[in-house]
C-alpha cells in the first residue's frame, strides 16, 4: 500500500449498520498507513469513529412497507442528495452496509458512474426475491458475507462473495471476558426485553412485551424484574413514553442505555425482536423468545414475498431449525409469550436443551476476526 489518501463514502442507514460501520472504519485504519477519509450517512458510532455524517440513523431507520411509504419523499430527496455527493466527492470506494433497499440502488448508481463498490452484509436474498441475485452480481465489485451459506447463492454470477465470519463473534467474546457490570435487577427472576432499535418496532412490539411481562410476573414465585436496554438516548425516551402509555406494566421495569449484551448475559430469559438482537441473544446463550409484529399491510406484503424461508429470527435461520421459540404477528400474544418464558425459566431439562441448541448455533459462526478479514479484503483491491 502506498501513502495515497483514500476516500471512502460509507452508507449505513440503521443502528446495527452504524455499529458495523464504526468497527470496519477502525479496522481499515489499523490495516493501512494510508490516511482514510470517511463521509456518508450513519449514526453516533460512525461519527465518533471519524466519519462526516450527512444523514443520521435517527432520520433513516424505518422498517415495513407503511413506515417507508410515509417517509418516501424524504428518502427520494436523500438519495438524490447522496448521488450528487458521490459525484462531487469522487470517492475511491462506495462502501454500503446492509440497508439493502436504498444501498443497492446507490451501489448501482456508483457502479454505473465508474466508482468501485463494496457491500458489507449480504442482502437477504435467501429470503426475499432470489431473482435479484443476477443484478446484485453485476453492480457490486465486492460482497462480504456474515453467514457461511451465502456465497454459494451467487455461484452463477460474476461476483465472488467472501465469507468473513460474523463480527459479533469477537464482540461477544469481549463481553464474556469483561467483568460484568452491576445492573439494577430486583428479585429472583431476571428477564430482558429487547423490542428493537427502530421506533416502528417499539410501537408494535413493546406493548405486547409489557403485557406478557405482567402475566409472567403473576405466574412466577418470587419477585421478577425486567430490563430494557436501548441503543440510543432518543430510542430510550421513545420506549419510556410507550411504556408510560401502556395499560400493562410490570412492577419492576428498568431502562438502561446500551449494555444489551451484558443485560442478555445476566438475564435468565429474554423476549427479543427478530434480527441482529436475536442472534446476539443466541450468542450470549440466553434462552429467548424471538418475536415480531407490524401493521397489517406490512405483514400482508411480507407473507406474499418471504417465500424462501421458514423463520425470521436469525438464530433460527442459521440453525435451519427453531432453536428460539418464534412468535410472529397474530401468534405473538402476551399469553403465549408468558407461557414460553415461564417454561424456559422453570423447566430445567427444557432450559438445558435450549442452551445447548443456542451454543451449537453460535459456534457455527466461526472463530472471529471478521472485521479484520473484511478490512484486508477491501484494502487488497486498491
C-alpha torsion 251→233→49→283, nearest 10? 20
81-94 pLDDT per residue, tens: 999 999 999 999 99
Q: Using CB atoms within 10 A of its CB, is residue 83 exposed (0-12), middle (13-18) or buried (19+)? A: middle
If we measure between CA atoms, which residue out of 378, 380, 379, 382 comes closest to residue 120?
378
Ramachandran angles phi, psi of 51, nearest 5°: -85, 145
Domains within the chain, CATH numbers bracketed: 6-166+367-380 (3.40.50.2000), 177-363 (3.40.50.2000)
pLDDT the model gives residue 49: 97
5-45 pLDDT per residue, tens: 999 999 999 988 999 999 999 999 999 999 999 999 999 99
pLDDT the model gives residue 304: 54
pLDDT the model gives residue 1: 45
Separation CA 58–CA 77 (nearest Å):
16
pLDDT averaged per 10 residues, the chain (length 382): 83 92 96 96 97 94 66 92 98 96 95 98 79 92 93 93 93 93 94 92 95 95 91 92 94 94 97 92 97 70 59 89 94 97 97 97 90 96 87
Strand stretches in 92-139, DSSP E: 93-97, 117-120
Strand stretches in the chain, DSSP E: 6-12, 36-42, 52-56, 93-97, 117-120, 142-145, 162-163, 189-194, 224-230, 253-257, 269-273, 288-292, 326-328
pLDDT the model gives residue 148: 85
Q: What is the pTM of this model?
A: 0.76
pLDDT the model gives residue 260: 95
pLDDT the model gives residue 298: 58
Amino acid at each position: 500500500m502506498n501513502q495515497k489518501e483514500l476516500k471512502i463514502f460509507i452508507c449505513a442507514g440503521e443502528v446495527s449498520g452504524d455499529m458495523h460501520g464504526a468497527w470496519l472504519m477502525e479496522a481499515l485504519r489499523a490495516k493501512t498507513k494510508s490516511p482514510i477519509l470517511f463521509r456518508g450517512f450513519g449514526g453516533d458510532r460512525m461519527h465518533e469513529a471519524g466519519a462526516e455524517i450527512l444523514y443520521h440513523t435517527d432520520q433513516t431507520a424505518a422498517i415495513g412497507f407503511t413506515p417507508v411509504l410515509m417517509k418516501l419523499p424524504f428518502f427520494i430527496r436523500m438519495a438524490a442528495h447522496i448521488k450528487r455527493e458521490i459525484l462531487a466527492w469522487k470517492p475511491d470506494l462506495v462502501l454500503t452496509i446492509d440497508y439493502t433497499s436504498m444501498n443497492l440502488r446507490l451501489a448501482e448508481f456508483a457502479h454505473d458512474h465508474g466508482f468501485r463498490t463494496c457491500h458489507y452484509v449480504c442482502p437477504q436474498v435467501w429470503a426475499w426475491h432470489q431473482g435479484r441475485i443476477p443484478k446484485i452480481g453485476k453492480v457490486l465489485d465486492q460482497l462480504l458475507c456474515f453467514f457461511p451459506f451465502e456465497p454459494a447463492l451467487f455461484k452463477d454470477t460474476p461476483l465472488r462473495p467472501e465469507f468473513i465470519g460474523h463480527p459479533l463473534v469477537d464482540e461477544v467474546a469481549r463481553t464474556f471476558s469483561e467483568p460484568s457490570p452491576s445492573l439494577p435487577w430486583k428479585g429472583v427472576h431476571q428477564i430482558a426485553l429487547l423490542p428493537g432499535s427502530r421506533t416502528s418496532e417499539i410501537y408494535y412490539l413493546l406493548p405486547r412485551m409489557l403485557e406478557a411481562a405482567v402475566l409472567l410476573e403473576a405466574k412466577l414465585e418470587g419477585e421478577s424484574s425486567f430490563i430494557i436496554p436501548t441503543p440510543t438516548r432518543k430510542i430510550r425516551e421513545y420506549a419510556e413514553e410507550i411504556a408510560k402509555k401502556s395499560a400493562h406494566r410490570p412492577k419492576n421495569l428498568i431502562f438502561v442505555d446500551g449494555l444489551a449484551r451484558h443485560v442478555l448475559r445476566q438475564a435468565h430469559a429474554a423476549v427479543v425482536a427478530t434480527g441482529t438482537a436475536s442472534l446476539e441473544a443466541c450468542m450470549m446463550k440466553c434462552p429467548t423468545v424471538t418475536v415480531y409484529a407490524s401493521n397489517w399491510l406490512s405483514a400482508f406484503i411480507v407473507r406474499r414475498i418471504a417465500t424462501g424461508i421458514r423463520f425470521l429470527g436469525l438464530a433460527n435461520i442459521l440453525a435451519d431449525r427453531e432453536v428460539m421459540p418464534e412468535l410472529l404477528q397474530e401468534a405473538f400474544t402476551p399469553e403465549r409469550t408468558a407461557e414460553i418464558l415461564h417454561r424456559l425459566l422453570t423447566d430445567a431439562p427444557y432450559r438445558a436443551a435450549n442452551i445447548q441448541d443456542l451454543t451449537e448455533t453460535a459456534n457455527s459462526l466461526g472463530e472471529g476476526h471478521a472485521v479484520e478479514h473484511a478490512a484486508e479484503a477491501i484494502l487488497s483491491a486498491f
